[in-house]
Amino acid sequence: MTLYTAIYNSPVGPIVIESDGEALTGLRFGDSGIGKALHLMLTHATSSLPIFDEAIRWLDDYFAGKQTENAIMGAKTDGQIAVQPKGTLFQQRVWQALVTIPYGKTVSYGEIARMVGCKSAQAVGQAVGANPIALLIPCHRIIAAHGKLGGYAYGQEIKKQLLNIEQP
């Protein structure tokens, strides 16, 4: 399988976007994937893919403070971007629950655990942390009990900035 990559320069730092050519398979903040992405771009010439155009339009809208639709896992509909994250069945269930969280809203790890029929908020936290498609599968909208910010794979500062973008 060929992996296509693109780099998006966001207001909170670089984002590496990955696709199999049809759907997004990864969207990660930070420099960690850029060396790998640049290597892949050099070894697999990336043509302009429609999925990248869609993702970049979505990211432009998101960072402009416009309310955006979450991704959809499976068949694409208008306004949504198709994603195909790789993970266990449990992770897939958790990520499917994440895409139901509306723009500007937050829910707790415990609430997600109840949504997916799991007794362990910690297990949900691990699945949330393994999410390979940040923003479109909105793991930044998950907070700890009692309204505390909680962790984020890309750091609490980026999580704060993302949540601030979504506030009216």
Q: List the catalytic residue out of 118, 139, 142, 158.
A: 139
Give the chain's domain count: 2
In a domain, 81, yes or no: no
Q: Are 47 and 108 part of one and the same domain?
A: no
In a domain, 130, yes or no: yes
In a domain, 105, yes or no: yes
DSSP-derived letter for residue 104 is T
CATH number at residue 28: 3.30.160.70
Specify the 3-state DSSP secondary structure of 151: coil
CB 163 within 8 A of CB 106: yes
Q: Are 94 and 69 part of one and the same domain?
A: no
Tens-digit pLDDT profile for residues 89-135: 999 999 999 999 999 999 999 999 999 999 999 999 999 999 999 99
- The edge-to-edge listing of strands for the beta sheet with 24-29 is 4-10, 13-19, 24-29, 82-83, 72-73
Any catalytic annotation for residue 139?
yes
Range of the domain at 27: 4-73
From first to last of the 168 residues of the chain, give the pLDDT tens digit: 678 999 999 999 999 999 998 889 999 998 654 444 444 443 344 557 899 999 999 999 999 998 887 776 655 656 678 889 999 999 999 999 999 999 999 999 999 999 999 999 999 999 999 999 999 999 999 999 888 898 899 999 999 999 999 997
Q: Are 54 and 103 part of one and the same domain?
A: no
- Domain C-terminal end among 73, 99, 125: 73
In a domain, 155, yes or no: yes
Q: Are 47 and 100 part of one and the same domain?
A: no
